[in-house]
C-alpha cells in the first residue's frame, strides 16, 4: 500500500472466523514491528481477535519489515509522518476493503497515541469507531505527576538524544531494546516532546495534546501493573484524561484480575500468552460497545 507521501507500507491480513464482527487494525509499538502483536505466532493478540470474528489488519509502519527501507539502511522519517500519512492510509484502506463493518484501532504504545493524534488533527477521512489502547501515554513533564520519575524520564530523554547523535539513528538492536532501529528525526521528535513539554507537530501548527478532545469514539485503555516507567498508571491516566469527549474505560490489570497469573508490563501486556484473559475481555468490550452484545468466545 502506497501512502500519500510515496512510502510503501506492508499490511498482513488475518481473516476472521464466522460470524464476522468487525475490523481490527492493530498497530505496534516503537522499536518493534507487527510480529510483536501475535506472539506466540498463531496464538497471540492478533490471532485471538481473528478467532473471535474480527478481520485483523497488521501493518508494519514505515522503516520496518517489508515497509522499508529501515533506519539501519539510512532511511529517515518523522513522528508527523506516522500521524499524517501511515495510520490514516491504513484506516482508509481498511474502510475501503471492509465497507459497512465497524472498525477499531488497537494500538500498542506508539500506535495508540499516533492514532489519537491523527484523529484529533482531522487526518482520518472517517474516524475509527473505537480505540483500544495497550500501554499508551505520552512522555511530557506536565503529564508526569512525580518528581523522581520526571527526573528519570529526563535522563532517559537525554540518553536517547546522545545515542542518536553518535549513531545517526537510534540503535535499538545494538543496545538490545528491540529488533527495529528508529530513525534519527523520529527520535529527535520524541525527545522534543519531553524537552519542550509540548506534544505538537514539528512546525508547531498542530497541537496533538489539545486534539485529544476531538477523539469521540469509545476508548478502552489497558495498563499493566508492572509497567512502572514507560506507561506508568498515574502518567497514563493523566494523558488519557485529555480524551475529554470520549467515553473512556481505563483499566489497570495485574495478578488476579480477570484470572491473570502474572503482572503484565509494557510489552508483556501484548506479547505474553498469559495475557489472553485481557485479550478476551477486549473482545467482550468491543462486542458490547460496537455491536450491543456481550458475546465472546
Note whether 218 and 289 are within 8 A (CB): yes
Please state the pTM of the whole predicted model. 0.96
- 160 burial (CB, 10 Å; 0-12 / 13-18 / 19+) is middle
Domains of the chain: 10-291 (3.40.50.1820)
- Torsion sign across C-alpha atoms 38, 239, 199, 148: negative
What is residue 297's predicted lDDT score, i.e. its pLDDT?
45
279-297 pLDDT per residue, tens: 999 999 999 999 886 554 4
Closest by Cα among 232, 223, 236 to 268: 223
155-182 pLDDT per residue, tens: 999 999 999 999 999 999 999 999 999 9
Considering the chain, what is the average pLDDT of its residues?
A: 96
What is residue 218's predicted lDDT score, i.e. its pLDDT?
98
114-134 pLDDT per residue, tens: 999 999 999 999 999 999 999
| Separation between Cα atoms, residue 291 and residue 294, nearest integer Å | 8
Degrees to nearest 5, angle at CA 70 with 75 and 166: 65
Overall average pLDDT of the 71-82 stretch: 97
Note whether 22 and 104 are within 8 A (CB): yes
Overall average pLDDT of the 206-224 stretch: 98
C-alpha distances out from residue 253 to 73, 139, 226, Å: 39, 21, 9
Cβ neighbours, 10 Å, residue 27: 26
pLDDT band for 72, please (50, 70, 90 cuts): very high
Overall average pLDDT of the 236-261 stretch: 97
Of residues 297 and 237, more confidence is placed in 237
What is residue 195's predicted lDDT score, i.e. its pLDDT?
97
pLDDT over threshold 90, residue 49: yes
pLDDT over threshold 90, residue 268: yes
What is residue 31's predicted lDDT score, i.e. its pLDDT?
98
Amino acid at each position: 500500500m502506497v501512502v500519500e507521501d510515496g512510502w510503501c507500507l506492508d499490511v498482513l491480513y488475518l481473516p476472521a472466523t464466522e460470524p464476522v464482527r468487525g475490523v481490527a487494525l492493530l498497530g505496534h509499538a516503537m522499536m518493534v514491528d507487527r510480529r510483536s502483536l501475535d506472539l506466540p505466532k498463531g496464538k497471540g493478540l492478533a490471532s485471538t481477535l481473528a478467532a473471535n470474528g474480527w478481520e485483523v489488519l497488521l501493518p508494519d509502519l514505515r522503516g520496518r519489515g517489508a515497509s522499508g527501507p529501515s533506519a539501519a539502511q539510512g532511511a529517515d522519517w518523522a513522528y508527523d509522518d506516522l500521524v499524517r500519512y501511515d495510520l490514516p492510509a491504513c484506516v482508509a484502506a481498511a474502510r475501503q476493503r471492509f465497507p459497512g463493518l465497524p472498525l477499531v484501532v488497537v494500538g500498542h504504545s506508539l500506535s495508540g497515541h499516533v492514532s489519537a493524534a491523527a484523529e484529533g488533527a482531522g487526518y482520518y477521512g472517517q474516524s475509527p469507531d473505537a480505540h483500544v489502547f495497550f500501554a499508551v501515554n505520552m512522555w511530557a513533564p506536565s503529564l508526569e505527576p512525580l518528581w523522581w520519575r520526571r527526573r528519570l524520564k529526563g535522563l532517559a530523554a537525554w540518553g536517547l538524544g546522545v545515542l542518536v547523535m553518535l549513531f545517526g539513528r537510534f540503535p535499538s538492536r545494538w543496545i538490545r531494546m528491540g529488533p527495529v532501529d528508529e530513525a534519527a528525526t523520529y527520535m529527535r521528535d520524541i525527545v522534543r516532546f519531553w524537552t519542550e513539554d509540548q506534544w505538537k507537530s514539528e512546525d508547531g501548527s498542530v497541537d496533538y495534546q489539545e486534539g485529544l478532545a476531538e477523539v469521540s469514539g469509545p476508548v478502552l485503555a489497558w495498563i499493566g501493573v508492572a509497567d512502572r516507567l514507560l506507561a506508568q498508571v498515574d502518567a497514563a491516566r493523566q494523558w488519557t484524561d485529555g480524551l475529554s469527549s470520549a467515553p473512556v474505560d481505563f483499566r489497570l490489570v495485574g495478578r488476579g484480575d480477570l484470572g491473570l497469573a502474572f503482572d503484565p508490563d509494557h510489552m508483556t501486556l501484548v506479547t505474553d500468552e498469559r495475557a489472553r484473559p485481557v485479550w478476551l475481555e477486549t473482545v467482550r468490550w468491543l462486542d458490547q460497545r460496537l455491536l450491543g452484545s456481550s458475546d465472546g468466545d
